[in-house]
Amino acid sequence: MNIRDSYIAQVVLRRFRANSFAMGGLAVVALLFLVSWLAPWITPCGPGDLDLSHVLMPPSAAHWFGTDDLGRDVFTRVVYGARVSLKVGFVAVGIATIIGTIIGLISGYFAGWTDSVMMRLVDLMLCFPTFFLILTVITILEPSIWYIMAIIGLTGWMGVARLVRAEVLSLKERDFVLAARALGASVPRVIFRHILPNALSPVLVSATIGVAGAILTESALSFLGIGVPPPTPSWGNILTGGKDYIEFAWWLTFFPGLAITATVLAYYLVGEGIRDALDPRLHR
């Protein structure tokens, strides 16, 4: 990293730190990672341990979030469910980001008929209701967390592709790219060495917000009973198990719902904070 890049990074970091909402979201995300990592040490039992003598017990000192209809500790299941949600979010967004970035780079750099074909593919994918497409594929395949991550990633790359394409169309006419071409740099070197690093800002913002979207999608699928298969706990299937007892066991839906809300909001705040920090027009 040269002096200029180091200075820019320091300015962006300072702007991000000045955003109290973004820092609050980052603190929630960091706490979520810490709790997930420490799950075996901070939970009183395993997520599948049954205790039929303590069925549907309200929150107490022994069971912070109460117990479910099988006597399982809800706090333990919510904590372990965070592991599933984080895994789904990051793997799905990783798949979507890689596919979208590659398509956006190729489409924007080569333009012409290549751009037309790839953008029509993007338009075609956007015509399908993504959630219902995921529902259709999941019902055909055997329910699995790996299928869910792959399908969410394979149906969520279109926005990234458009963002990267727009950046590449602007960057490829800049002087430093023209100079690299004049010096005989190969096409892959121009794309990956000179254009891609300068096009990553919107990708970073999109990926951060995309994690929140992937977590919501996984929770919705699990709530409908076609997501992460039991007995593996996820926030969605914990909600599903509690909906039949909502009138007299409010804790079964309140705590996993609160976890989903707080996590999604935190990622959105972090994503917005990154976008604001990277946008110089907001700091004149």
Number of structural domains (the chain) is: 1
Q: For the domain that residue 121 is a member of, what is the CATH number?
A: 1.10.3720.10
CA dist 154 and 149 (Å) reads: 9
Residue 235: CB partners within 8 Å, gap ≥ 6? 78, 81, 82, 84, 85, 219, 222, 256, 257, 259, 260
The boundaries of the domain holding residue 100 are 3-283
> Taking the CB of residue 280, how many other CB atoms lie within 10 A of it?
11
Two tokens, residue 60 = 């107490």
Q: Alpha carbon of 68 to those of 40, 75, 219, 233: distances in Å? A: 20, 10, 18, 12
> Taking the CB of residue 82, how many other CB atoms lie within 10 A of it?
23
CA dist 28 and 265 (Å) reads: 9
Per-residue pLDDT of the chain (284 residues; tens, 9 = 90+): 455 556 567 777 888 888 889 899 999 999 988 998 888 898 888 887 887 778 888 888 888 888 888 888 889 999 998 888 888 888 999 999 999 999 999 998 888 888 888 888 888 888 877 777 777 777 777 777 888 888 888 888 888 899 899 888 888 888 888 888 888 888 888 888 888 888 888 888 888 888 888 888 888 888 777 777 777 888 888 888 888 888 888 888 899 889 989 998 998 898 888 888 876 555 54
31, 267 Cβ separation under 8 angstroms: no
203, 212 Cβ separation under 8 angstroms: no
CA dist 195 and 132 (Å) reads: 35
Q: What pTM does this model have?
A: 0.83
Q: How far apart are the first and last CA of the chain?
A: 25
Whether residue 231 is preceded by a cis peptide bond, meaning omega within 30 degrees of 0, is: yes
